[in-house]
Structure 1
Amino acid sequence: MEPDGCLDSSLPGECPSSAVTQALSQILHHLTCQESRRNKARNAALDDLRVLIDSTECARLCGGDDPSSSPPVPAVLGQVAKALEKLASPPKEQEGRSDRHSGVAQKATEVGALFLQQLGKIEAAKNSFCPAWKTGLRHLAGPVYIFAVTHTLEQPWTNQRSREVAGKVLALLLKVSECGSVAGFLHGENEDEKGSFSLIMGLLKPDMNKESWKNNPATKYVFSWTLKQVTRPWLNQYLERVFPPSLLISDDYQTENKILGVHCLHHIVLNVPAADLLQYNRAQVLYHALFNHLYSPEYQLIQAVLLCLLDLFPILEKDLHWKGGIARPTTHCEEVLQLVLTHMEPEHRLLLRRTYARNLPAFVKRLGILTIRHLKRLERVIIGYLEVYDGPEEEARLKIMETLKLLLQYAWPRVSCRLVVLLKALLKLVCDVARDSSLTPELVKSSLLDEATDCLILLDHCSQGQVKSLLAKIPQSCDDSKVVKCISKVQQASKETSYAET
């Protein structure tokens, strides 16, 4: 394939823009054709493109020599860049196909070399003070960026070589764009400078609707990674572009996609002003989407959802003020806590138990005195989790005792009637840990005993010294030094407290 003699010219720089445009159009046709021998045609097209770029002056590729040509050379070159990006993208995922990504890394390496060549020409035009270099870059920047992100991240369709080439492409793109970071490239280095985020989202949009977003397995990662580069105060400008795709990904049946979508939504919650999220009921839509995920048995998803919800509650409950005289309305945080406690009681899977216990203290902190509404169920969950060994790290029991300490601080007027039940559970834990001969590290055992001691001291304060009197005879009849040491700390702390002042 010879692009109309342009490659055979003895003076390629003298080749008119119309001939370059025609040659690029032929190359574009061969890159996008669907004929049976397309691989051979595409390989020839890549070779011809490499020769054409090398033999054409940088100013001509940027359209600087003939800005009135139709279609402009940079526009056609941009279409070629889009075709190259599609050529190097991984194929649609198919069940039962383990080799679906074979050959993608090799294509990406070849395409990356072509992008480096094109960016090098634009850099040369820039260094030679050709004013058209910005036009050339504008048409290339979007496809080149999507290609670079697709193949820079470690994915099944990449290898070390393709990632290195993609990294070089991204670095050169930032250099030519005069941007110090990807974030600067996306939202602009200065306040009055428009970045490329809208351009990138516009290119991704056709592949981010309900019917097409799984056609290219890289699209969701490019969208997610790009979204997370843009933070306050820029992200709210693009909320309409990023909110629907994030909801779409999170609503998938695959856990991996659900988690990815929830992470995108969490980034939006953290970086978009509350007023924008409350507008058009977006925050409520987001809340209900996240709430439905709480019925999942996947602990990674539950962890991501709970973290996102905890940051969403202040936005949802921003305008809720109790005026007295009527019952205080149930908050969104309380609704989630009720469901979490319902799931925690019968849960026997350790990873889920740890996930729930890890986030429970944050809910108690958030609700404060309102945890009194959930005291009965919290009491059952706390006692149940204190009884169960949680593996060498004992994360669940440590977090449950952190929850208990917060509960004793916020709900202390209601604790005295639960004194005996909580005291028995804590003493049983102390005795179990003291006698524990498992592989639990001594540091973890020490932490458990310290936390239990702190809970006993707080319980004693809440009950006006009743714990001290109930524990008075234990040191005389117990020969376990760890248990005795724990009880002694509680008694010593009680002596130093004047309950008349509390």
Structure 2
Amino acid sequence: MDNRDSSILQTTLAKLHIPADFARYPAIAETEPETILRLERWKIQVLDVLSDLRAQLAQEQLLSLSEKAEVISTIAPWDGVAPWTLDSTREIAQNVLHLYEDPDPSLLEHILSTHVKPIFQANAHPSLNPSTGRILPRSAGGPSARLDYMEGQTWKSHPGTVYVVSWCVRHCTSAAYEKLWHLIIPPVMTLLDDYEAAYKLHGVQIVSDMLRTVPADLLRRTGVDGLLFTSLTTCLTYLHNPETPSLIRAAVPAAVSLVLLTAPAGSEKRFNQLCEILGEGIIGSIWVHATRESEAIEASVDTLPTVVRALDVGAVRYLKALVPQLVFPLQPASGNVATKRFQLSSLHALAAVIEVCAPRIHRWKGAILDGVLRLWVTLADTGVDDDDTRELKHACMGVCDCLLKACPAVANLEYARLLDVDKMMFGPLVRQSGKGD
């Protein structure tokens, strides 16, 4: 690109730099109406600027490495859901970024070293060597390092940089991680260990993307596998925040993926870490300290099948906690405010628990059947036949089917008794037993 065209490009990109006030958007939404109005006007005006940029790039001009890096680092923040984006601006941004869908490692390195590292280096993570991306034997800065690290977080005045890190991680190949590790992991850990739940959520989402391609050996050699595990499980203690349900739904699968990637199958390490996620994270933290927050409990139940199936039969040690928690939302009782979605999630989790813990589930068949039957009768009594109700009924049937496979004797005992009591009512529920036809 010649100097004149380069100057035009730079001018266009400068107009797209996201105002720092967007970082405060949620906090000032009701207290600073004038600032919000200014930001909203800017957000609308940017649509024309993005359109101009797309037109400039469509002329197939040859951009230098640094120009490509600047385009990507400027446009990546528009490829997502954020206070500064609109559906229309997001669509244009995605069109522009599609031009760089398969970036060379050298381009990613330039973006990270020029547009990301300078922003985060003022708040270096105390547990990482910023030159190598390896874990330090002890925190840099001594015992108060973490407190110091939380002060003067200048990177938060660059609200779009989080999305640049995310874009780079999503486009980093497995082979490129070795070269880029020292540039990728410091900002990722800074986000993941931030004290604000919203930034932690960004960090978890980026880690989830990273775990799809990062080499397991690299995580182990640098010691970051343990650091990531601690940070992800710590997310399960960040309760009583608006982001808590989303944080739980993201952190649990990410932690499980990390364990399955870095801990050998059948090893004590894998078993212990999965137990920590389920026993200490979900049961010991969320279910103990967020009992009145149904959305957080529901989010944890959504993640249960993933953890239970990873832990396999080892999950039987938690049946005493799992079954009562999963059965409670199914029962009509005072204090039970479970939504149909929560009930459906509980049924899906219950089916997973029955399948995995089949050798010991016979001890809990009575409690499970009691909960499923109460829900089944309640649904029948309402007389409603909408999609949600049909889905719940189908899930109830699925639980009964799983219970039959785990405990075949229920066909001639519990299921047979139900059919004797009211075949029309319970026949469809236990149809898989062969008694309901």
Q: The TM-score by the shorter chain falls in which range? A: 0.7 to 0.9
The residue type equivalent to 1:365 in the other structure is: R
Q: Shift of residue 86 of structure 1?
A: 4.8
More displaced 10-residue stretch of structure 1: 367-376 or 222-231: 222-231
**Which residue does 1:315 correspond to in 2?**
261
Matches of 2:175 and 2:249, distance apart in 1: 27
Tell me the distance in 1 between the aligned counterparts of 2:163 and 2:341. Answer: 32
Q: Summarize the Cα distance change of 1:84–1:331 in structure 2 as closer, same or farther, 3 Å threshold.
A: same
The structure 2 residue matched to 1:148, chosen from 70, 75, 90, is: 75
Do structure 1's residue 483 and structure 2's residue 420 form an aligned pair? no
**Equivalent runs, 1:267-278 vs 2, <5 Å:** 267-278=209-220
Counterpart Cα distance in 2 of 1:372 and 1:232:
36
Question: 2:204 & 2:360 partners in 1: Cα distance?
Answer: 37
Q: State how far apart, in whole Å, the 2-side matches of 1:383 and 1:153 are.
A: 38
In the alignment, structure 1 residue 363 sits paired with structure 2 residue 307: yes
Q: Is 2:358 the counterpart of 1:412?
A: yes
Q: Which amino acid aligns with 1:149?
A: A
Name the % identity.
17
User: Structure 1 405/167 Cα, relative in aligned 2: closer, same or farther at 3 Å?
Assistant: closer
- Contact 1:112-1:166 within 8 A present in 2 as well: no
Of the structure 1 ranges 305-314 and 336-345, higher mean CA displacement relative to structure 2 is found in: 336-345
**1:451 counterpart letter in structure 2:** G
Are residue 182 (structure 1) and residue 100 (structure 2) matched?
yes
Distance 1:407 1:164 in 2: 42
Answer yes or no: is the 8 Å Cα contact 1:430–1:452 preserved in 2. no
Q: Is this contact kept in 1: 2:54–2:92, CA < 8 A?
A: no
Query: 2:354–2:403: 8 Å Cα contact kept in structure 1?
Result: no
The reply on whether 1:196 has 2:107 as its aligned counterpart is yes
CA distance in 2, matches of 1:443, 1:164: 37
Shift of 1:400: 3.1
Cα gap change, 1:467 to 1:423, in 2 (>3 Å): farther
Report the counterpart of residue 137 of structure 1 in structure 2.
64
Q: Give CA deviations for 1:14-65 in whole Å, capped at 9, x if unaligned.
A: xxxxxxxxxxxxxxxxxxxxxxxxxxxxxxxxxxxxxxxxxxxx76x49xxx
* Preserved contact between residue 263 and residue 304 of structure 1 (Cα < 8 Å): yes
Q: Taking structure 1 as the reference length, what is the TM-score of the superposition?
A: 0.64
Consecutive unaligned residues in structure 2, runs of 5 or more: 124-152
Q: Report the alpha carbon displacement of residue 312 of structure 1 after superposing the two structures with TM.
A: 0.7
TM normalised by structure 2 equals: 0.73
Contact 1:151/1:158 (<8 A) preserved: yes
Cα distance change, pair 81–142 in 1 and its aligned pair in 2 (3 A): farther
For residues 387-441 of structure 1, what are the alpha-carbon distances to aligned partners after superposition, in whole Å with 9 as ceiling and x for unaligned?
267767x343334333333433443332333343333333333333332345753
Distance 1:415 1:233 in 2: 45
Q: Deviations over 1:58-81 (max 9, x none)?
A: 76x49xxxxxxxxxxx9xx78x97
Match of 1:468 in 2: 412
> Considering only aligned residues, what root-mean-square deviation do their CA atoms show, in Å?
3.9
Q: Is the Cα contact below 8 Å between 1:243 and 1:265 reproduced in 2?
A: no
Rounded Cα–Cα distance in structure 1 between residues aligned with 2:193 and 2:407: 48
Mapping of residues 216-231 of structure 1, within 5 Å:
216-231=158-173
CA distance in structure 1 between the partners assigned to 2:74 and 2:355 by the alignment:
54
Instruction: Report how far residue 444 of structure 1 moved.
Output: 1.9
Is contact 2:197–2:238 with CA below 8 Å preserved after alignment?
Answer: no
1:91 is matched with which residue?
Answer: 19
221-230 vs 367-376, which moves further: 221-230
1: distance between equivalents of 2:364 and 2:81? 53
Q: Give the counterpart of 2:275 among 327, 331, 334.
A: 334
Residue 207 of structure 1 is matched in structure 2 by 119
| Post-superposition offset of 1:450 | 1.6
Alignment: residue pair count: 384
Higher relative contact order (CA 8 A, sep 6+): 2
C-alpha separation between the residues in 1 aligned to 2:237 and 2:323? 22
8 Å contact 1:371–1:411 — kept in the other structure? Answer: yes
> Is residue 219–residue 262 contact of structure 2 (8 Å, CA) maintained in 1?
no
